[in-house]
């Protein structure tokens, strides 16, 4: 009887990270060990490279400072091979030129020969910035909410979403909107913090939103809101996760958010998500008029 092997995502990811680590360290010997003799690579610009060139060239031309692997998926290809696909973000240079685009899809195929894993294939493909997550709304949970079953998409906020986002915030309890929550300022905020703020869309309609930005050191979430009919289905959590994934892409691994003291439900949500209060810090704020010429 043959047994289909169970490939564990973490094991395959650990192999893939060895390759990226070798590229970061410009270690051609390590790459030669990890790449199969029959290794084929298809680069983003469409060029095909075989093992000798891949091993020889990468340490010469790549200056990768950091890489982030997001949303990995694996698929078994028969008994001894596995396909790994993920969203890859690269920072650094190639031939002295900053790597652009930073985001791409990466697909590799790993093969196991007598217990030894080698990478047979690697391909990079263009990444379309669009839906970053989905939340299913199964019929069973909808009886009391008057909401159709379907899929809610989490996607980066764009200027076209702002009017609906402002409507949602204006209808949401537990948020404090200020003078800067107008269409002009909000559009500017997420242009400056590209891809970070997120909306949840049900059939194209905004049913959740959150602003996310960073000051180069910490991330910040503002105005997380989910339309009342759509709550307790995981949409708030999915919006937060999408923001944290975007912050991680730029190397920010700590995020702050603000909850009004008497927003008990908001605080419960945050506790469930693992946010905690700084016991020794008070937030101070100063509003000022333009200073200087
Ligand atoms: C807070 C808010 C964004 C949560 O959105 P949501 O989509 O309902 O959140 P999720 O479904 O992802 O909830 C995840 C978990 O958080 C907790 N949680 C969420 N809302 C809660 C509530 N009202 N009371 C207690 N716990 C709650 C639950 O543990 C929930 O898991 P469960 O449904 O399996 O029990 C939404 O209630 C909202 O818009 N509130 C008004 C605005 C607000 O308070 N914003 C928060 C500012 S930080």
pLDDT tens-place string over residues 265-284: 999 999 999 999 988 988 89
pLDDT at position 142 over 50:
no
Tokens of 24: 């970061």
Domain boundaries, the chain: 9-126, 133-273
CATH assignment of 133-273, given 3.40.50.360, 3.40.630.30, 3.40.50.720, 3.10.100.10?
A: 3.40.630.30
- Closest residue by CA, ligand 1 atom 16: 269
Q: How far is the CA of 224 from the centre of ligand 1 (A)?
A: 10
At 39 the pLDDT is 98
Q: Say which CATH topology domain 9-126 has.
A: Nuclear Transport Factor 2; Chain: A, (3.10.450)
Tokens of 177: 């909107």
- Closest residue by CA, ligand 1 atom 24: 265
- Closest residue by CA, ligand 1 atom 31: 232
Residues 244-260, mean pLDDT to the nearest whole number: 88
- Closest residue by CA, ligand 1 atom 33: 232
Q: List residues bridging with 63 in a β-sheet.
A: 93
Mutate to test the pocket of ligand 1, among 176, 177, 258, 269 (most ligand atoms within 8 A of CB): 269
Average pLDDT taken over every residue of the chain: 87
The owner of tokens 């905004």 is 206
Percent of all residues in the chain with a pLDDT value above 70, rounded to a whole number: 89
Distances (CA, A) of 13 to 10, 17, 110, 183, 279: 5, 6, 11, 42, 37
Query: Residue 263 CA: which ligand 1 atom is closest?
Result: 44
pLDDT digit string, tens, across residues 36-83:
999 999 999 899 999 999 999 999 999 999 888 877 888 999 889 999
Most confident of 21-30, 137-146, 194-203: 21-30
Residues 234-243, mean pLDDT to the nearest whole number: 93
pTM (2 d.p.): 0.65
At 187 the pLDDT is 64
At 6 the pLDDT is 64
pLDDT at position 193 over 80:
no
Alpha helices, DSSP H, located in 80-231: 162-171, 183-192
Q: How far is the CA of 263 from the centre of ligand 1 (A)?
A: 11
pLDDT at position 257 over 70:
yes
Residues 6-10, mean pLDDT to the nearest whole number: 79
pLDDT at position 191 over 90:
no
Percent of all residues in the chain with a pLDDT value above 90, rounded to a whole number: 54
Tokens of 194: 């590209």
At 206 the pLDDT is 97
d(CA 245, CA 243): 5
Comparison of pLDDT for 191 and 281, the residue scoring more: 281
d(CA 65, CA 23): 10
Query: Residue 235 CA: which ligand 1 atom is closest?
Result: 7
Q: Is the CB of 269 under 6 A from ligand 1?
A: yes
């Amino acid at each position: 009887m043959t047994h289909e092997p169970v490939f564990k995502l973490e094991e395959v990811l650990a192999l893939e990270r060895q390759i990226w680590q070798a590229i970061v360290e410009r270690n051609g010997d390590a790459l030669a060990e990890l790449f199969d003799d029959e290794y084929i690579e298809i680069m983003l610009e469409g060029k095909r490279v075989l093992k000798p060139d891949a091993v020889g060239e990468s340490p010469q031309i790549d200056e990768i400072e950091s890489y982030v692997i997001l949303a990995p998926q694996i698929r078994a290809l028969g008994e001894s091979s596995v396909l790994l696909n993920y969203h890859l973000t690269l920072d650094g240079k190639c031939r002295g030129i900053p790597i652009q685009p930073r985001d791409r899809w990466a697909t590799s195929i790993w093969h196991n020969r007598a217990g030894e894993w080698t990478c047979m294939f690697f391909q990079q493909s263009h990444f379309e910035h669009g839906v970053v997550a989905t939340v299913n709304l199964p019929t069973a949970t909808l009886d009391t909410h008057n909401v159709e079953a379907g899929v809610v998409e989490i996607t980066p906020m764009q200027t076209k979403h702002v009017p609906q986002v402002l409507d949602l915030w204006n209808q949401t309890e537990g948020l404090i909107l200020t003078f800067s929550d107008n269409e002009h300022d909000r559009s500017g905020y997420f242009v400056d913090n590209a891809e970070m703020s997120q909306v949840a869309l049900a059939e194209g309609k905004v049913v959740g939103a959150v602003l996310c930005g960073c000051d180069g050191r910490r991330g910040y979430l503002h105005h997380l809101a989910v339309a009342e009919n759509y709550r307790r289905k995981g949409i708030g959590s999915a919006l937060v996760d999408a923001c944290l994934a975007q912050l991680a892409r730029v190397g920010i691994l700590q995020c702050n958010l603000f909850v009004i003291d008497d927003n008990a439900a908001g605080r419960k949500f945050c506790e469930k998500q693992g946010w905690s209060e700084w016991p020794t810090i008070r937030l101070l704020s100063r509003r000022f008029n333009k200073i200087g010429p």
